[in-house]
Structure 1
């Protein structure tokens, strides 16, 4: 669901004056703090109940992609229950790793490629998705609000989400792989099993089916591309010559 609020501030990347940039950021911060929250406990019992039952994040496989901040992630996964139910402060949390607030901010920035708004929260609010108390109370369903910084990124995310299919594909392929390995299949057989499972499980939209049946191009471009191997010559991957060409070479030839 996309929410448009009239008069909401927007990040202005065209500003060059430092004071103007700071004022723009402060305006966004004040707006976000007013409409968004990540607190697990509030003065409203109904919100607390919904926050516990609807807003608590539960890890799935994509959460573990990448190896950055592995030490912090392991600590949080191991001590989640203790942290959420305690009065641990942010300073106490930093002390566990011997880090300063500047170190923390630098670590967070190192994982970002574009501007993003992150809510400040205490350790006890760990794994609580962003929400608006009023919207959460009205809808009674999970919320994960994000402030839109880039209109293009928002459009791209929306399109990707709409076109998202093959739900559960990774779990299905993983089970097929385990089954193939337990049957002591060869590498070729394993690959064939995974390919067949992927083909039979894949889902495509009705529009894509129509394009395929009518043999229409799904993508049009007036630009052509050519692959240029940029790795060192001694590590580049090459294709061997055809069987006929190999037969015409001398037995000790290295030009294959």
Structure 2
């Protein structure tokens, strides 16, 4: 069934779609709460869920999950950092060739740029989701540079220039899903050392960020949990929360978020109307 046909079915019977979605979620929460669930012994302690509806009527959810005994991030504690990375690698993946489910499901995880994800920054059009993601040899929690590390304006401009070049190369690489370039080969391709590369990634950070282990051909894949993906068979984007304040702001933003999406048809109608004003 093609995409247009699916959209027609959703538009013609949104009530049935929502009921089916609700039933799937109910079953999913039961599995996630089970002792033998996908969290490898970490019990689901609490959750916050918000359901939103896209313009065509298809529902999706935003959820925050609290897992019992999950590690807490402390940038000043190497043991805490190590435990967090181990936890992340155990539960979150961007592997483009999973063994737990069909590779076809990975296509659900591949980001496709659209008008909704583009924004203008310093004269450049970039993806507001930060895609393509930067490849990494291993999962790392990167911190912004401290006050003791100062960059001159010229140094920052040079790093930003190199970053744009790297992003353009990643865009090219990401179009070839069969690309087998390794991380080390990628560094040679962009003519950078690993130290220079990590510095480039860190220089514009304003808070700690998880950078998942990721091959160059996985830079468009959103993070997923393998067990959840094999059961739910739907797109997801999973993140490990480093900052409790950011978590709080997330809740507030989505509690008060308005439904302001606009379909292509409505945008065209609005643009046509503006011509006559």
TM-score band w.r.t. shorter chain? 0.5 to 0.7
Task: Indicate whether 1:92 and 2:185 are aligned.
Answer: yes
Residue of 102, 105, 109 corresponding to 1:55: 109
Cα shift at 1:102: 1.1
- Which SS does the other structure have where 1:142 is aligned? coil
Cα shift at 1:113: 0.8
Contact preservation (8 Å) 1:36, 1:130: yes
Q: Please give the per-residue CA displacement for 1:134-175, whole angstroms capped at 9, x wherever unaligned.
A: 111222211111101111101212322343332139996798
CA distance in 1, matches of 2:265, 2:204: 27
- Which SS does the other structure have where 1:4 is aligned? strand
Residue of 16, 29, 39 corresponding to 2:95: 39
Residue equivalent to 1:6: 68
Task: Indicate whether 1:102 and 2:195 are aligned.
Answer: yes
Report which of the two has the higher share of helix. Answer: 1
Residue of 230, 242, 262 corresponding to 1:149: 242
Change in Cα spacing, 1:5 to 1:171, as seen in structure 2 (3 Å) is farther
Q: Please give the per-residue CA displacement for 1:42-85, whole angstroms capped at 9, x wherever unaligned.
A: 223x2422222x21111234345434532222222233223x21
Greater Cα offset, 70-79 or 3-12: 70-79
CA distance in 2, matches of 1:60, 1:150: 29
Could you list the runs of 5+ residues in structure 1 that have no partner in the other structure? 16-20, 190-256
Contact preservation (8 Å) 2:173, 2:216: no
Change in Cα spacing, 1:103 to 1:139, as seen in structure 2 (3 Å) is same
Q: Please give the per-residue CA displacement for 1:76-103, whole angstroms capped at 9, x wherever unaligned.
A: 2233223x21210112212222111111
Could you list the runs of 5+ residues in structure 2 that have no partner in the other structure? 1-62, 125-159
- Which SS does the other structure have where 2:240 is aligned? coil
Contact preservation (8 Å) 1:32, 1:147: yes
CA distance in 2, matches of 1:170, 1:158: 29
TM-score normalised by structure 2 residue count: 0.55
Cα shift at 1:107: 1.3
User: How many matched pairs?
Assistant: 174
Residue equivalent to 2:174: 80
CA distance in 2, matches of 1:171, 1:99: 45
Which has more radius of gyration? Answer: 1
> RCO higher in 1 or 2 (8 Å CA, sep ≥ 6)?
2
Report which of the two has the higher share of strand. Answer: 2
Task: Indicate whether 1:119 and 2:174 are aligned.
Answer: no
TM-score normalised by structure 1 residue count: 0.60
CA RMSD of superposed structures (Å): 2.6
